[in-house]
Amino acid sequence: MTHPLDDPVRASLTGPHAHLAQQQGDILAYPPDVATFISIHENMVKEDWDDVAELVRRTGRRSAVFAGVVATPPADWTRLWGGPGIQLVGDEVAGQPDEEAVRLGPADVPEMLALVERTQPGPFAPRTIELGTFLGIRRGGTLVAMAGQRFNPPGWVEVSAVCTDDVHRGQGLAARLIRAVAADIREHGSEPFLHVAGTNTGALRLYEALGFQRRRITEFYAYRPPEE
């Protein structure tokens, strides 16, 4: 790998998120209540897969979720899901703070989890908020939209958990929050990037309209190791 975005999980866990890293051999992972992802490498051998399996069992995970690096586990592992995604970089995106956006903290996590449950933007766990800044917009006291930060390879921060309640879509809330998160990322000396599922054409149109540019096709997938 020659660029930190080629393997954003490992680049994060050996960089700014090193304090969160769980390790088994050469395998790194986030705590499952922070993020589901496990970092593997392209030249995996049986001992490496054994380490992944042990890490899954030791940390109480239901599966091993991988991003960015593609490697095929042994035949007795069960593929649960997977598919292509698109990685986009936002060094040309205009960041802009938003007066209505509020910084979300630990006390807001139950409301954030409820919004995620309603909108399904992707993985979000009780401690995901520890990965970076999360901003939200409330209407009538209720959190109706949010966006935040996830992977943090050196020099880059991923915009993630972008979601808006159905009844408040079409008002430009997601675009405003993305710009506000991008402004926060720039304020701390990094550039924004993000991932989108290859099938999520609506989100892709929004991100490209904001100035994000496609960098590469990547892969997100999950396997369950065999029982001991």
73 & 98 share domain: no
Q: What is the pTM of this model?
A: 0.96
- Quick one: tokens of 170? 């079409």
Average pLDDT taken over every residue of the chain: 96
> What is the distance between the alpha carbons of residues 188 and 126, in angstroms, rounded to a whole number?
24
146 and 162 part of one domain: yes
Residues 105 and 209 in one domain: yes
57 and 145 both lie in a single domain = no
Look at residue 2 in the predicted model and tell me its pLDDT: 81
Average pLDDT over residues 92-114: 97
Structural domain that includes position 50: 4-84+219-224
Q: Is the pLDDT of residue 165 over 90?
A: yes
Q: Report the pLDDT averaged over residues 8-13.
A: 97
pLDDT at 228: 74
Buried b (16+ CB within 10 A) or exposed e, 147-168: bbbbbbbebbbbbbbbbbeeee
Whole-number pLDDT of residue 227: 87
Tokens 């040309």 locate to 92
106 with 182, same domain?
Answer: yes
Q: What is the pLDDT of residues 188-217, one digit of tens each?
A: 999 999 999 999 999 999 999 999 999 999
| Cα separation, 38 vs 73, whole angstroms | 13
Q: Are residues 47 and 93 in the same domain?
A: no
pLDDT(223) > 90: yes
Q: What is the CATH number of the domain that holds 152?
A: 3.40.630.30
What's the pLDDT tens digit per position in 63-95?
A: 999 999 999 999 999 999 999 999 999 999 999
pLDDT at 142: 96
pLDDT at 138: 98
Identity of the residue numbered 222: A
Q: What is the pLDDT of residue 55?
A: 97
Name the domain count of the chain. Answer: 2
Residues 125 and 52 in one domain: no
Q: Give, in degrees to the nearest 5, the angle at Cα 99 between 168 and 206.
A: 45
Query: Do 124 and 69 belong together in one domain?
Result: no
